């Protein structure tokens, strides 16, 4: 659904949608690299698989919020349902950004360590 928005001329320049796409693609690439790195470990759930699951859930939540907002515009959904879905998507996006910031901060701390 997110990919289909870029084909609409009236929504192409929307910076909010561009940021959602950017975060969605960042989470997807982060999850793919984390899962591929952890492919050598075969026992139990790894940090990479948990992180990949969180990224997938975040993307699904954003898509659900987007679909509900379109349903609300078309009059197919109740206002309360739309607000709940959009608020959940907003919270998920904020959580994903905070998680990304923590991961980047931890990486930079490790890189700055003296050997």
Domain ranges of the chain: 14-112
DSSP 39: G
CA-CA-CA-CA torsion sign (97, 98, 99, 103): positive
The pLDDT assigned to 39 comes to: 54
Task: For the chain, 115 residues long, give each residue's pLDDT as a single digit of tens.
Answer: 455 444 444 444 455 555 556 555 665 665 566 556 555 545 788 888 988 998 999 999 999 999 999 999 999 999 999 999 999 999 999 999 999 999 999 999 999 998 7
The pLDDT assigned to 72 comes to: 94
Reported pTM = 0.57
The pLDDT assigned to 44 comes to: 83
The pLDDT assigned to 10 comes to: 46
Radius of gyration over every alpha carbon of the chain, rounded to an integer in angstroms: 17
The pLDDT assigned to 8 comes to: 44
The pLDDT assigned to 114 comes to: 85
Helix, strand, coil abundance in the chain, percent, nearest 5:
80, 0, 20
């Amino acid at each position: 659904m997110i990919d289909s928005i870029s084909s609409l001329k009236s929504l192409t320049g929307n910076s909010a949608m561009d940021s959602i796409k950017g975060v969605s693609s960042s989470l997807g690439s982060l999850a793919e690299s984390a899962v591929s790195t952890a492919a050598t470990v075969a026992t139990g759930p790894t940090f990479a698989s948990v992180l990949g699951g969180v990224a997938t859930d975040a993307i699904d939540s954003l898509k659900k919020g987007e679909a509900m907002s379109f349903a609300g515009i078309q009059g197919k959904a109740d206002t309360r349902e739309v607000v709940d879905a959009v608020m959940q998507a907003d919270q998920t996006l904020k959580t994903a950004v905070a998680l990304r910031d923590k991961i980047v901060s931890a990486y930079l701390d490790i890189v700055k360590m003296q050997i």
